[in-house]
Amino acid sequence: MSAVTTSEVGHDQVAAAAELTEATRRLMLAAATTDLDPDEVRAAGRAMDALTRTLSARSRPRALRAPFDGPADARAGGPDSPWRSFAYNPQAFPLEMHFDGRSARARTTANSLYEGPPGLVHGGFTAHLLDSLLGTLTQSLGLRAVTATLDLRYLAPTPLDVPLDLHARVVDTTGRRTRAEGWIEHDGVRTVEAHGLFIDITGRTR
């Protein structure tokens, strides 16, 4: 297995990776929205390439990731002990989740990097957010389960640059099957809802 988890590297290296991931997200947004002159934009691109060479001097085969038990450990700390998803992968949309019983919640804001229709969040990213929240909620309950189905209803546009509240709960578990549901709301208006089926893969090696 090529994945390296945070439990296998030093504490300071984990902290540095999280800081670099956040800096990369800020860079991505700045690159997407810069209004500098063409020469300045090209110079910035060359500076970024130099940084890429620096970081690539020693690489892992995969992005650093959290251990499987991470969400369950956060749950044990109670609703005030958050779990941060995708803390080491700048491509993914991160979420700070709070678990309470068989429920989870998170609050986030989607910036311009996640735009689909003008001024609105792309539906693929809201699906990503809901799959993350539902999947991590099941994981926090000790289930080693993957998404078999995720049914989405896009009820209303989801706006960029405003607080979004996400909720999820496990509906039931029967044998290997766990059903979970969740939704995104803004200002009390539900914009997307999801129903997911998660299948336990305990014993499977990959």
Ligand X SMILES: CCCCCCCCCCCC(=O)SCCNC(=O)CCNC(=O)[C@H](O)C(C)(C)COP(=O)(O)OP(=O)(O)OC[C@H]1O[C@@H](n2cnc3c(N)ncnc32)[C@H](O)[C@@H]1OP(=O)(O)O
Residue with tokens 């993350």: 132
Q: Is 146 in the site for ligand X (CB under 6 A)?
A: yes
Q: Is 195 in the site for ligand X (CB under 6 A)?
A: no
Within 8 A by CB and 6+ apart from 159, the residues are 119, 120, 121, 186
Distance CA 104, CA 166 (A): 8
Q: Residue 114 CB, nearest distance to ligand X (Å)?
A: 18
Sign of CA dihedral 99, 100, 103, 106: negative
Residue (90 or 160) nearer to ligand X, CB: 90
Asked if residue 179 lies in contact with residue 196, where contact means CB atoms within 8 angstroms, the answer is yes
- Residue 126 corresponds to which tokens in the numbers above? 């809201």
Residue (139 or 158) nearer to ligand X, CB: 139
Q: Residue 148 CB, nearest distance to ligand X (Å)?
A: 4
What 8-state DSSP symbol labels residue 102?
T
Q: Is 62 in the site for ligand X (CB under 6 A)?
A: no
Q: Is 201 in the site for ligand X (CB under 6 A)?
A: yes
Q: Is 7 in the site for ligand X (CB under 6 A)?
A: no
Q: Is 149 in the site for ligand X (CB under 6 A)?
A: yes
- Contact residues for ligand X (CB under 6 A)? 68, 131, 135, 139, 144, 146-149, 175-177, 197, 199, 201
